[in-house]
Amino acid sequence: MATILGFSSFNQVRVSYYEGSSVYGSAPYDDLAQSAAVMSQLAGKPVRLQFMRWDEHGYDNYGPAMMYDIRLGADANGKLIASDVTEFAPPYYSTTPAMALTGTTQQVFGQSISADTNNVGTQYNLANTRVIGKTVPLQDNYFKISFLRGPQAPQTCFAYEQAIDELAKAANMDPYTFRLNNHRDPRERPGPRPRRPHVGPVAEGAHDRSGKMSSWKPKVAASNLQSGQYRQPAAASRSARTRARWSPRSPTSRSTRRRARSPSTTSTSPRTRASRNTPGGVQNQAEGSIVQGASRALFEQVTFNKSNVTSLDWVTYPIMRFKDTPKIHFQYVQRTDIPATQAGRCRRTERPRRRARWRRAALYSSGSGEPPISCIGAAIANAFYDATGVRSARRR
């Protein structure tokens, strides 16, 4: 604000804050406050500026549209051997519109994309991986984009986990078992669990728990396209170094072979250590994240023409309503045998020298609100394929 108004000191600006509706990502409150300040200086009087619903929908920050080119390889035994991912996205704005309009700050555009490297194979035991981020040259000619909940994670998982599902199909394997066999964390793999003498048996993983919760029965995806069957595909994510898994069940119709608009049952098991003190808060965060992810995948879409956004209210931009909300069966896996990312320390009973090993292995627990949303869209897309045999991604 001080920069836009040309003030020499930040002390010349006083901010009065009032509670409003919460947001995930960047809302246009910065644009609103800066614009009101500029108008007030021009008028020489106090100015109240209020965005209406159509203003906020029409000039908000939008989640970036992203495109992925994914190549995966597996051997004859269904073991992943290589992953090659190229991500395409427009760059972010580095200045707000008010800064550009007043000329106090030169318009700056990002020169690179914020590529998601958390959900492109890091959850799997891959010896050969490559991630390339490419910027789409659309400077000053595209939507003002910003982070939404789980930055870039829903888009990345939507693409990558469908590719994993296709690879499991090509290997004639159950997609859930395929993921377990290739999981990076030994806690998730079949067979005897390793032990650490100083902490006892290793806790079960999120995938393992989720399989039990959903009563998973192995089968090859899209191998039984019959009316009334429920499909339960697996989707894994590793966002904010916390694993999450989500399994929707989707009823199908024999005549139309279509999935119901909202999955009837869901289950997820994010892994977190911080939940020890606030289990109710963790569950609220995770369940809200699941509903938000399902709404984003099934209902929400920004519409536009060549000049402006046309989805300007909750009718033209619908969100999931209570009547469409799926039943959620949620559990979290309490992990006290590894440190939290922010804390960076172990329990008193653990040996300090173990910390370095854990850091190298990237075994941390952190986050509760963002990780679950990462895999929702991918899980729904995989459920749709399992029920109909139709993919939501294009194969080359």
Write the pLDDT tens digit of every residue in 156-215.
Answer: 999 999 999 999 999 999 998 998 889 876 665 555 555 544 333 444 667 777 777 778
Q: Does residue 296 belong to any structural domain of this protein?
A: yes
Q: Is 142 left (phi over 0), alpha (psi -120 to 50) or beta?
A: beta
Residues 248 and 370 in one domain: yes
**Contact assessment for residue 174 and residue 207, using Cβ atoms and an 8 Å cutoff:** no
Identify which has the larger pLDDT, 359 or 139.
Answer: 139
Q: Does residue 229 belong to any structural domain of this protein?
A: yes
pLDDT reported for residue 313? 95
pLDDT reported for residue 204? 61
Residues 289 and 190 in one domain: yes
Percent of the chain with pLDDT over 90: 23
Query: What mean pLDDT value characterizes the chain?
Result: 76
pLDDT reported for residue 19? 80
Residues 31 and 78 in one domain: no
Residues 39 and 169 in one domain: no
Token pair listed for 229: 């069957």
Residues 301 and 230 in one domain: yes
Residues 222 and 337 in one domain: yes
DSSP assignment letter at 203: P
Domain end among 80, 107, 135? 135
Identify which has the larger pLDDT, 16 or 142.
Answer: 16
Q: What is the maximum alpha-carbon separation in the chain?
A: 75
pLDDT reported for residue 311? 96
Q: What number is the average pLDDT over the span 317-345?
A: 75
Most confidently modeled range among 22-26, 111-115, 337-341: 22-26
Percent of the chain with pLDDT over 70: 69
Residues 201 and 110 in one domain: no
Residues 211 and 359 in one domain: yes
SS (H, E, C) 44-75: CCCCCCCCCHHHHHHCCCECCCCEEEEEEEEC
Q: Does residue 17 belong to any structural domain of this protein?
A: yes
Tell me the CATH number at 380. 3.30.365.10
pLDDT reported for residue 273? 45
pLDDT reported for residue 256? 35
Range of the domain at 165: 153-388
Q: Does residue 264 belong to any structural domain of this protein?
A: yes
* Distance (Å, whole) CA 158 – CA 154: 6
Residues 87 and 212 in one domain: no
Tokens 């192995």, residue? 218
Bridge partners for 231 per DSSP: 250
Residues 129 and 236 in one domain: no
Please count the structural domains in the chain.
3
Instruction: Kindly tell me if the per-residue pLDDT of 78 is higher than 80.
Output: yes
Residue 86, helix vs strand vs coil: strand
Residues 32 and 165 in one domain: no
Residues 122 and 174 in one domain: no
pLDDT reported for residue 341? 55
Token pair listed for 385: 């394929």
pLDDT reported for residue 263? 47
Most confidently modeled range among 85-89, 94-98, 227-231: 85-89
pLDDT in tens, 276-313: 567 788 888 888 888 999 999 999 999 999 889 999 99
pLDDT in tens, 16-66: 888 877 777 677 778 888 889 989 989 999 999 988 999 989 988 888 888
Pairing state between β 265-268 and 327-330: parallel
Token pair listed for 168: 């499991």
Identify which has the larger pLDDT, 393 or 382.
Answer: 382
**Contact assessment for residue 235 and residue 373, using Cβ atoms and an 8 Å cutoff:** no
pLDDT reported for residue 255? 38
